[in-house]
């Protein structure tokens, strides 16, 4: 049975944003100098920050 499009969008929004941030970070690290290095550090730290925020002390992963 197919799920509504709105539900699918809600499920995949955050993982896709994290994937795009990671790709921007990797591209910036490979091609950039100066400010590009800062962009890469910030973009590549995003998945770690999100994981620490969602799974930090006193938090449990949500079940769907």
Give CA–CA dist 32/39, Å, rounded. Answer: 9
Checking if the pLDDT of 62 tops 80, the result is: no
What average pLDDT does range 41-57 have in this prediction? 89
Is 61 contained in some domain?
Answer: no
Is 28 contained in some domain?
Answer: yes
Checking if the pLDDT of 1 tops 60, the result is: no
Domain count for the chain, please give it.
1
Give CA–CA dist 28/44, Å, rounded. Answer: 10
Is 62 contained in some domain?
Answer: no
Domain containing 38 equals 12-55
- For the entire predicted model, the pTM comes to 0.70
């Amino acid at each position: 049975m197919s799920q509504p499009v709105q539900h699918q969008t809600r499920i995949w929004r955050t993982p896709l944003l994290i994937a795009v941030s990671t790709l921007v970070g990797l591209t910036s690290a490979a091609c950039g100098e100066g400010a590009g290095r800062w962009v890469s550090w910030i973009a590549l730290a995003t998945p770690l920050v999100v994981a620490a925020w969602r799974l930090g002390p006193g938090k449990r992963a949500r079940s769907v």
